[in-house]
Amino acid sequence: MSISDPLYVRGKIAGVYPSLSSRRDEAYIEFVEDARNALLHGQQAPIAAYSRDLLKKAGASMTPDKASCDAAEKILMQDPALKTYYRVKRSLQESFWNGIRSSFNMRRDAILAAMDAAVTKGPGTVTLDPDMPMPEYSQAQIHLQPGAYAYEELGGLFYDYGLKVFMGGAADNDNLPKMVARIVRVPADGKVTRVLDLGCSAGATTTALKLAHPDAEVTGIDIAAPMVRYAHLRAVEQNIDVHFKQMNAEKMAFPDNHFDAVLSMLLFHELPPEASRRVLEESFRVLRPGGAMTILDFTSVDDRDVYNMWFAEMDSKDNGEPFLPPFVRSNIEKTIAAVGFKMEPFDPKNSLRTGRVCIKPLQQ
């Protein structure tokens, strides 16, 4: 019997995800996933056009400042179709967490025991830091995930399966992490000895980075112990040699000039801007001169009109994204430059979200 058997008691689904505890639970979640694809993802383009039309007919300001967003909300949330959309969005988000949590809780003790047993197994390692001070922002229940990332022992597993549902199939077979790993910028000299995955969550991008750079030492850090514990078990199951550490990216325990490449996949919009600045400063410190940092995240306010700025504000309120609007409004490009990075162009067709490539100059 393998240590990961309790995780994969009904096998895997979509290539990499542990199956839910029964076919009944699975059918329920398949329904929620398809409902999201039809009633949320599929609506993005038509509902944006409809909303902008409503705003224009009302003579609303289309600039993305806060006052215009507040005015837009008053106009848009009078509309029954838009009220319905946001009700459906909230309900489906609650549905998928409820379905995932109740299903995995049925074999909770066995999964926790498997994660404990995996701590000493390789390939790769996991290092926990139970005495690490946890910043207050870590308590935010991002995406409404039960227990937040750090305070529910099955948080990594919930997040992993939640991503499958949230992405509606786009992340199946780790396709999304593998795509991300392929587009992570490497230094101009091509030398990639050490790679760092910031805010690695369930470790899917970390293992994908190892597959893309098999000769490099790849490390994933996350502030949440449940994430790195689960990520390690997931990597052990796939026999991929990566290292996970529970660590705050604001204060990393790595030497200066240590990494050749750093990835941040959808981390910064889940941090307050003050923390983001410290993470960027630390990333600059641990990258070697000529090293490259790739940031994949949401667009800044300068690339938005009032509709998609307001959409981000609705997401913050209704989907547990308290730091998304401050992130968007912070124009992180300015902070990237302020800490010393030189930004290089990134092909927007390459990524899920906007990419920012940050190079640590050879001469400082």
Partner 1 sequence: MSKKNGADELAYVRDLPGFKPNNPTYFEQEAIDHLIGIVLELGGELWTLRDRMAYMEELLRDSGSKVLEKLDAGRPSDALQAKLSAERKEFISRVYSRLYSRYGGDKAQHTTAPM
CB 268, CB 332: distance < 8 Å:
yes
C-alpha to C-alpha distance for 50 and 92, rounded to whole angstroms:
22
Compute the least distance from the CB of residue 77 to partner 1, in Å: 12
Indicate the residue among 88 and 211 with the shorter CB distance to partner 1. Answer: 88
Residue with Cβ nearer partner 1 (112 or 266)? 266
Burial class from Cβ neighbours inside 10 Å (0-12, 13-18, 19+) for residue 97 reads: buried
- Minimum distance between the CB of residue 224 and partner 1, rounded to whole angstroms? 23
- Evaluate whether 205 touches 131 at the Cβ level (below 8 Å): no
Euclidean distance between CA atoms 97 and 156, whole angstroms:
13
User: Which residues of the chain form contacts with partner 1 (CB under 8 A)?
Assistant: 10-11, 19, 22-24, 26, 30-31, 34-35, 37-39, 41-47, 49-50, 79-81, 83-85, 87-88, 166-170, 176, 352
In the bound state with partner 1, the residue whose beta carbon lies nearer, of 35 and 211, is: 35
Q: Which is nearer to partner 1, 38 or 362 (CB)?
A: 38
Q: Of 36 and 213, which CB lies nearer to partner 1 in the complex structure?
A: 36
Distance between CA atoms of residues 198 and 221, nearest Å? 6
The H-assigned helical ranges of 43-125 are 44-57, 66-76, 80-105, 108-118
Q: How far apart are CA 200 and CA 265, in angstroms?
A: 8
Query: Please, what is the angle between helix 23-39 and helix 80-105, to 10°?
Result: 160
Closer residue to partner 1, CB minimum distance, 186 or 352: 352
For the CA atoms of 14, 15, 21, 27, the dihedral, rounded to the nearest 10 degrees, stands at 20
